[in-house]
Amino acid sequence: MSLKDAPGFYNPAVQTWQGANSKTFKRPDLDTNLTLPELFEHHAKHSPEHPVFVYADDEQQEHLIRFPEVYRGIRKAATIASAHYHRLADYYAQAQVGKSEDDPPIIGILATADSISFYTLKLGLMYLGLTPFPISTRNSAIAIAHLVTKTGVKQMFVSADPAMQRLAHETNELLAKDGKEFELLPMPTYEDMYGPGGDDALVPMGKVSPNKTCIILHSSGSTAFPKPIKFLDKNFRKWGPFVYYGDVDFCGLRVGAQANPMFHVMGSLMMCWSVYVGVVWSMFKPCTPPVYPTPELFLDSLVATRSEIVYCVPAFIESWARDPANMPRIKTLRAMIYAGAPMNKQIGDRLAAEDIALIPFYGSTEIGAVVRLIPDPKTMEKSEWDYFQISPHIDIRLLPQEGQPHIFEPVAFDSPTFTPNVFNSVIEGRPAYSTSDLIERHPTKHNLFRVFGRADDQLMLSTGEKTNPAPLEAILCQDPHVHACLMFGRGRFQNGILIQPKELFDPSDEAKLEEYRNKIWPSIEKMNAYAPSHSRVFKEMIMVTTPNKPLEYTAKGTPRRQVCIAAYADEIDALYKRVEESSQIDLPPPRDWAPETVHQYIGDVVRKVMENNDIKDDDDLFQQGCDSLQATWIRNTIIHALRSSSSVNTHDIPTTFVYSNHTISALAAYISAIYSGKSVDKDAERAASIERMRALLEKYSAGLERRFPEKAANGHANGHANGTAEIVLVTGTTGRLGSHLLAQLLQRPDVVRVYALNRESSGSVAALEKRSREAFKQWGLDESLLSGGKVSFHAVDLAKPNFALSEELYQEIRSNVTQIIHNAWRVDFNVALPSFEPLLAGARNILDLALSSPRPGGPRTLFVSSISSLRNHSEPTPAVETIEVDPSLAYGTGYSESKWVTEQLFGRAAQKGLRATSVRVGQVSGDQRTGGWNTTEWVAALVRVSQRLGCIPSKEEDLTWVAVDVVASALQEMVDSNEPALHLVSPRPVPWNAVFLPIAERLGVPAVPYDEWLARLEKSAAAASARPGVEQHDSAHNLISFFKAEGMGGAAIPLSTEKAVRSSKALANVRPIGREDALNYVEFWAKVGHLKQTA
């Protein structure tokens, strides 16, 4: 490899002396031999008035921490660490035999801690002559075990939060088999290091040297295990002077670094900038647990600390920029330095148009900073914000890439002003570090470059998460319909994939494109199963090449990635735009907003989105197959039209209005009323809903008659005596509760047969069996039970005669079943009561089967209802377990109203002599063993959006949740009850905070008052509505009205369980849920990718 045509920019001459005019900062010589801890000692003596940190307290009052205080904190940290170290002095003496003095013992740090404390502890360990090794809290236990094994860490400071404690203990369990466990040391707090006292016992500085390994950092581990990278003190300190090669004197400038991870190079280089440059770091208030850096808190802190520059990952800047109200505060900053990930191009351009200086920071742990930091914000060309100059302090040569003009790979060499920390190649006899990065030269300004990609093709999303596309593409290329494919997504929030099909077609033909997407979808699902959650591809992100623009290939027959992605840049941009807006904007808004015009427009929107021209004005959209994505498209299209051609304030329109107005006629009337300013008559709406409930009850109870014999010859009603074999019909066995119910039934020796009835669009019994096996696997149930011969699966439509089964099979079931548990129901809190009508018809057909049984007394029949049928119970006394319930108590959601109608149907069947029980089930929580809980339920939605909002709600409310395995057991006991109605909620409620505070600790987010949390959620939903985008929407936005309701935990509606506990030992003996359950829920949701891994 030749350097002949490889441009370079090395020039060791300083360009801007730092602190040249400072009266408080005494700059050290750039070639000093003082080590990092000695430089802090130097400044404590010679720069005593110069601040190192600034933070604002809870009252937004400013606090400065100067060099003498920081140096004292370093010495106190060293004193704390020294005691732990000397306790294992004999071990370390033995371990160091044969090692160089320049390779001292290594002490790990695994901590969720405030930045000032973390920064100080690292320096305290260096002061002792030891090597700190900060480890990412995002690593898995396996990755940490690998790092510990590689470095020989014997002691590790671990923060007290449950997440880190658990991660450390899990790591030690892995290490135990080789006898390589480490000792957990308590992470010192800010008070420990900066609080009063202890000055008379401070330990002296240990043996430090410029040639010693002063710190170890590790690589990201994107393609393999993370690799530990050792830094000699003399090389690590070179991270500081590189600022001297920019245009700005940073001395005394307040730079916002509140969100920088201190285990990362972004956080570690701050120590060097402190002593060489005199930067004042703006931080969050030091506390335990630390402040979680939400975008809102970060921006507030920048303003409160009067920061002039911010240094952070682009996700924060992007979040701020999406809210126009933030622009005045952003403009108080001289510059915004972004690092760790690409910036969204549209947002960057918008900020540049506002004359805001955006500056990319490009570098790596192995070679440090490559960019010249920073150009003068006043004179820089802000529109070219994604380009940078290569810093002259580092000897980098740019290797041209064959066949790619203007594309280069940076390669770093040793020089007096900077030494790479890793060498992986030799070029013309010189050791070098080849980055595998690709940068692109500006077309006219040849001293400017921007990041182009990776030679090894990694994709970095705007979140900083990386995708290695090669193995994922290899999986998809196994599909017989795929000729070649390339993933894309650099700088975006999610990935997409560009596919060249085996048989070319025009992808502008939407029908053919949809057909092709469906054809290859099983292979996409295989690929997604292999991929980490952030790398998965959604169906709308599948893109197909056009016949006139096939992919270009290398001599090896592989697609030329960058060339092909560039060729489809416009189409990719259009795809992201379409997905973000998710509205049919090709439909023009109505010419006016007269009622008849609105009606026509709404009809056009609905029929176009649903691709069904046969939908009638009064058809229920959700019975016609409208799904949540289509409902979102319909909503966004209507909102877009109102925004663009009317003066209606769309912020006041609820996100669920399509669900509440579920026909074309109802939607049109609603929008016309909104436009004309008419308010909804809520009393009339309530009366109409209650009348609709009564009417449906009368419709489906008409002709309800008993046909079974009254008593058996043995005198037992229902033909049931102790010891009689049970034949059970269960509906809805592929969901979570249904799976647990089925598993427990199959384990019972008295149950000889189970008929499992479920919906299956294909009608395939094999597909049903597969679903059930997958469900058993998902919920940790014994799959072998399904092969024992007790259960038969049947694909049914309960609303049709004979459940759409053959006459022979229907009569077999009718003649034999001794128990019926009707569990199948649609769990959807958005749609209105008419959308549940097929389920009401199904419930009537279930009752007809039971009432026509030839068995004396008929089968015992149970309906799994919901406490929502009592949602409006407002009396202070507990609601009694009775079927006599006024419909007004259930009014409010289609779901609760449908449950009331069905309860009353079962009550009327009981009046005919059937032993029918409705069990009002409360919140069904994760099982007691694994915590398995659906990610689509409100608790999971609340926890996920809380992780995104950076806080979790605390509340003065009790929870009456019951674990799903206990619910399944209780239902089997309650089917034998003679009571028409029972309440299945915990007889031992627990406080809300007993569950949600452990969850907050596990996620590393603070708990805030419920009203504050709700306000943040509403703000987040408003932002998603104002600027539709896949990166902003959250399923919790659809549940805001539910979250506003009282009594989510169940206890706000007091329910008697007196009869229930008499009917069920499982419920009577249930243990209260607690901390262990809460942590199990989080672990389960993280495992299935619903939550981001916090450790």
CA dihedral in degrees (314, 320, 321, 324; nearest 10)? 180
Cα 747 from Cα 744, distance rounded (Å): 5
Q: Which residues contact 678 (CB under 8 A, 6 or more apart)?
A: none
Q: Residue 134 corresponds to which tokens in the numbers above?
A: 């900060």
pLDDT at 224 over 50: no
Q: Quick one: 56 and 74 in the same domain?
A: no
Q: Quick one: 70 and 161 in the same domain?
A: yes
The per-residue pLDDT for range 716-763, each reduced to its tens digit, is 444 444 457 999 999 999 999 999 999 999 999 999 999 999 998 778
Q: Quick one: 220 and 272 in the same domain?
A: no
Q: Quick one: 552 and 617 in the same domain?
A: no
Q: Which of 165, 198, 230 is the last residue of a domain?
A: 230
Bridge-based pairing of strands 404-413 and 430-434 is: antiparallel
Confidence of residue 649 (pLDDT cuts 50, 70, 90): confident
Q: Quick one: 207 and 261 in the same domain?
A: no
pLDDT at 436: 86
pLDDT at 628 over 70: no
- The tally of CA atoms less than 13 A away on the side-chain side of residue 233 is 28
The per-residue pLDDT for range 863-873, each reduced to its tens digit, is 999 999 998 88
Closest CA to 562 of 498, 621, 492: 498
Q: Quick one: 220 and 249 in the same domain?
A: no
CB 612 within 8 A of CB 621: no
Q: Which residues contact 150 (CB under 8 A, 6 or more apart)?
A: 227, 228
Residue 623 lies in a domain: yes
Residue 759 lies in a domain: yes
Closest CA to 307 of 286, 281, 284, 285: 281
Q: Which of 536, 558, 580 is the last residue of a domain?
A: 558
pLDDT at 715: 43
Backbone φ and ψ of 437, nearest 5°: -85, 155
Residue 488 lies in a domain: yes
Radius of gyration of the chain (CA): 33
CB 661 within 8 A of CB 591: no
Cα 315 from Cα 293, distance rounded (Å): 12
Q: Quick one: 927 and 793 in the same domain?
A: yes
Residue 78 lies in a domain: yes
Cα 283 from Cα 256, distance rounded (Å): 7
End-to-end CA distance of the chain: 42
Q: Quick one: 71 and 53 in the same domain?
A: no
Q: Residue 390 corresponds to which tokens in the numbers above?
A: 């290569």
- The tally of CA atoms less than 13 A away on the side-chain side of residue 932 is 17
Residue 408 lies in a domain: no
pLDDT at 583: 53
Q: Which residues contact 695 (CB under 8 A, 6 or more apart)?
A: none
Cα 1024 from Cα 430, distance rounded (Å): 53
Q: Which of 230, 259, 287 is the last residue of a domain?
A: 230
Confidence of residue 223 (pLDDT cuts 50, 70, 90): very low
Q: Quick one: 246 and 197 in the same domain?
A: no
pLDDT at 162: 87
Amino acid at 547: P
> Total domain count for the chain?
5
pLDDT at 466: 65
Residue 350 lies in a domain: yes
Residue 485 lies in a domain: yes
The per-residue pLDDT for range 287-336, each reduced to its tens digit, is 998 998 889 999 999 999 999 999 998 889 988 998 899 999 999 999 99
Residue 1081 lies in a domain: no
Q: At what angle do helices 141-151 and 162-176 cross, to 10 degrees?
A: 60
Cα 1091 from Cα 204, distance rounded (Å): 46
Amino acid at 572: I
CB 1020 within 8 A of CB 1037: yes
What range does the domain containing 656 cover?
595-680
Cα 137 from Cα 264, distance rounded (Å): 10
Cα 801 from Cα 791, distance rounded (Å): 23
pLDDT at 871: 87
DSSP 37-91: HHHHHHHHHH-TT-EEEEEE-TT--EEEEEHHHHHHHHHHHHHHHHHHHHHTHHH
Closest CA to 414 of 860, 701, 977, 10: 10
The mean pLDDT value for 195-203 works out to: 93
pLDDT at 717: 47
Cα 1058 from Cα 889, distance rounded (Å): 21
Please indicate, yes or no, whether the overall pTM of this predicted structure exceeds 0.75: no
Q: Residue 646 corresponds to which tokens in the numbers above?
A: 């009317």
Instruction: Choose from 216-220, 340-344, 461-465 the range with maximum mean pLDDT.
Output: 216-220
pLDDT at 719: 41
Q: Quick one: 281 and 386 in the same domain?
A: yes
Q: Quick one: 493 and 620 in the same domain?
A: no
Please report the beta strands in 922-965, taking only residues with DSSP state E, as ranges in sequence order.
924-925, 952-954, 958-959, 962-963
- The tally of CA atoms less than 13 A away on the side-chain side of residue 538 is 11
Which CATH number covers residue 310? 3.40.50.980
Q: Quick one: 97 and 200 in the same domain?
A: yes
Q: At what angle do helices 894-911 and 837-851 cross, to 10 degrees?
A: 20
Which CATH number covers residue 476? 3.30.300.30
Which CATH number covers residue 928? 3.40.50.720
The mean pLDDT value for 225-239 works out to: 89
Q: What is the mean pLDDT of the chain?
A: 89
CA angle 177, 183, 186 (to 5 degrees): 145
Please state, for a pLDDT cut of 90, what percent of the chain lies above it: 64
CB 133 within 8 A of CB 111: no
Which residue intervals of 557-663 are DSSP H helices?
561-567, 569-581, 595-610, 628-645, 657-660
Cα 401 from Cα 889, distance rounded (Å): 72
- Tell me: cis bond preceding 289? Omega within 30 of 0 counts: yes
